A and B are shown apart, each in its own frame.
Chain A
Amino acid sequence: MSKEPRIIAFCCHYCAFTAADLAGTMRQQYPSNVRIVRLPCTGKVDINMILEAFQAGADGVMVAGCEIGSCHFIHGNVRAVKRVAYAKTLVAETGINPERLEMYHIAASQGPLFAQRANEFTERITNLMNGTGTAEESESESGTVEANA
């Protein structure tokens, strides 16, 4: 690997951000190159935030929100799923591999899952940067990765 991938993680305050915090409390290891941007809800994620992250040099962008049905704002995470799917098409149009963008659902109690997703996504981006593969097959089917609670 030539360099550490730079990853921006847009995380919901009520779930994934808390899970990331919990991961730290539980001394779970995840790559330090995953930089978290805390949002009040993934429904706050704007397509331009994603595009600007790539423009600013991010190698990968992950959006992590609550599990479906658990959004603090009822539908914010569902909207984020749709928005990320649309952002993937916009990103692909510019010539960037859309697998560099992914949506995850992680509950506040799932610290280890946050660490696992962060590790998986970092590995995916590293592979893409090295040209040694695409997204992990286990994740790429639906385009949206559901947490197994």
Chain B
Amino acid sequence: MPARAATERIRKAIALVNSVADEAGDEEITPTEIAEAIRDCLEMSEVDLVPNVRRYLGEALDAVSDGMPADFVAMTLYAALGALREGS
């Protein structure tokens, strides 16, 4: 799968967001850490191979900075992941 690395990074970001959404884990995860994980995804050129992936990631980043609920951020990340899957 040509977008495997990007897929992995998006999954990692989703796992972080989900741990906030599910209130799991011992350590508190900050919005800054989540934003960082999304920026890591945006740095990958693979996200430009499939339409809308970069835009969903951008939406997710905006949602983090706007203080939207973790579920909402997770939804846009899943959308990015799904778009990558459909495009690949």
Are A and B bound to each other? no
